[in-house]
């Protein structure tokens, strides 16, 4: 069956539940983590279920000791489980592998699963099924905005929007606080990302499903 918004949200929530319903509210700073990848059972789960889709061959110890970032392979597995193929979202160990094609597709108007928007553009108001992305490179928030135009590989992270309310969104991301975690992100009155603790630079809006 082809992937849909409903299957994507269900797939993301399935993984979130498996990891113990971890949460992190960026406004209140309250963090509640269920299962962590420090647990060898969950580290092995990453290898068996996420690396088998996105690639890579870390050891259990690599994952437990934060020597291998598994966030991109986790997102890849969520999309595959939801019914999407690697021609729609390149399954990978790097989030930039789907950010860059989304930027290019938006610039050319080509059909694609996502089109990318800069953080301050009017269209960059994240909604269900969209992806929101930041870099964790050691740069300022202002300098992080240049990552939108990068063509080479770079350090980045994306989360899937699974709920939207008037002043905040919930997103599910992998390898967040060593778990699959829901982050609650504040929004501006115009519906844009208000958080500045993370170096957000891109919103990928759904176009192909």
Instruction: Read off the pLDDT of residues 5-35 as tens digits, 9 standing for 90 and up.
Output: 999 999 999 999 999 999 999 999 999 999 9
- What is the four-CA torsion angle of 173, 178, 181, 186, rounded to 10 degrees? -80
The pLDDT score that the predictor gives to residue 54 is 98
The pLDDT score that the predictor gives to residue 120 is 94
Closest CA to 179 of 18, 37, 54: 37
The pLDDT score that the predictor gives to residue 193 is 98
For residue 1, pLDDT over 80 is answered with no
For residue 136, pLDDT over 80 is answered with yes
- Host domain of residue 199: 5-206
The pLDDT score that the predictor gives to residue 38 is 97
Q: What is the pTM of this model?
A: 0.96
The pLDDT score that the predictor gives to residue 153 is 87
What is the torsional sign of CA 131, 137, 141, 143?
negative
The pLDDT score that the predictor gives to residue 128 is 98
For residue 98, pLDDT over 80 is answered with yes
CA contacts within 13 A on the Cβ side of 158: 33
In the numeric block, which tokens belong to residue 207? Answer: 């176009």
3-state secondary structure 109-135: CCCCCEEEEECCCCCCCCCCCCEEEEE
Task: Report how many domains make up the chain.
Answer: 1
For residue 159, name the pLDDT band (cuts at 50, 70, 90). Answer: very high
List beta partners, residue 115.
Answer: 205
Query: What integer is the mean pLDDT of 154-163?
Result: 97
For residue 145, pLDDT over 80 is answered with yes
The pLDDT score that the predictor gives to residue 135 is 97
Q: Are the C-beta atoms of 28 and 185 separated by less than 8 Å?
A: no
For residue 191, name the pLDDT band (cuts at 50, 70, 90). Answer: very high
Instruction: Read off the pLDDT of residues 35-71 as tens digits, 9 standing for 90 and up.
Output: 999 999 999 999 999 999 999 999 999 999 999 999 9
Query: What integer is the mean pLDDT of 186-197?
Result: 97
């Amino acid at each position: 069956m082809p992937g849909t918004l409903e299957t994507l949200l269900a797939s993301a929530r399935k993984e979130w539940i498996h990891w113990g319903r971890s949460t992190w509210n960026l406004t209140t700073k309250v963090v509640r983590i269920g299962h962590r990848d420090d647990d060898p059972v969950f580290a092995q789960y990453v290898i068996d279920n996420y690396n088998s889709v996105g690639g890579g061959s870390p050891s259990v110890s690599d994952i437990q000791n934060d020597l291998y970032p598994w966030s991109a392979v986790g997102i890849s597995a969520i999309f595959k489980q939801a019914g999407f193929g690697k021609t729609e979202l390149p399954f990978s160990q790097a989030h930039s592998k789907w950010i860059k094609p989304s930027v290019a597709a938006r610039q050319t108007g080509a059909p694609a699963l996502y089109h990318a928007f800069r953080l301050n553009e009017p269209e960059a108001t994240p909604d269900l099924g969209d992806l929101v992305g930041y870099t964790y490179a050691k740069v300022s928030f202002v300098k992080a905005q240049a990552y939108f135009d990068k063509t080479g590989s770079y350090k980045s992270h994306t989360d899937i929007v699974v709920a939207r309310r008037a002043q905040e969104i919930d997103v599910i991301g992998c390898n967040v606080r060593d778990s699959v975690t829901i982050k609650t992100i504040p929004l501006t009155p115009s519906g844009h990302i208000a958080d500045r603790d993370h170096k957000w630079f891109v919103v990928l809006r759904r176009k192909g499903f």
